[in-house]
Amino acid sequence: FSINLIIFFWNIVCSNPPIYAQNNIVSGNHVKALKEYTNRALAYKFYEEQMADALPSYQYHIDIAQTFNSYFKDSFRASAVLMNVAKKHHRNPEILKAVAFNLQAINAPRQAVTIYQQLLSLRPTYGQSYRDLANALKENNQLFQWNQWKIRL
């Protein structure tokens, strides 16, 4: 085999998602579709191009983020998926709470703090919002910022 032939086949494999992966999106097996990829960058590209706008619920995106974190060992892409969910649902406190919790679970406390700050702005009379923000700040060694939030409110 020549190197050109190997490169040619590699480009074909990398540019086209496996047929099985495409079929799994249709059937709702979104996690299984991602696991068809051995390369996490290609899996993320497939997610962005084929799934990001097609999945019917934020819960599917959380599943995808958990898959990137646990299966692909890629917390960076997992947090990117979660932050996209937060951006899309920036006015929904229940979804934002789920996103923040999952950000903490994948060890992305700075992003979690950002979401908890958003939640506190959305629900300033909800006591749990204060507790969640304080815990996230503590986890991220930013508890000194708590006084800034108390003064602002």
Per-residue pLDDT of the chain (153 residues; tens, 9 = 90+): 455 555 544 444 454 454 444 444 444 588 999 999 999 999 999 999 999 998 889 999 999 999 999 999 999 999 999 999 999 999 999 999 999 999 999 999 999 999 999 999 999 999 999 999 988 888 887 776 656 655 455
pLDDT of residue 85: 97
Tokens of residue 17, six digits: 């998602």
Judge if pTM exceeds 0.85.
no
CA-CA-CA-CA torsion sign (9, 10, 16, 20): positive
Burial of 64 (C-beta count, 10 Å sphere; 0-12/13-18/19+) = buried
How large is the C-alpha radius of gyration of the chain?
19
Q: Which of 118, 77, 68, 76 is nearest to 95 (CA)?
A: 118
CA-to-CA distance for 44 and 74, rounded, in angstroms?
10
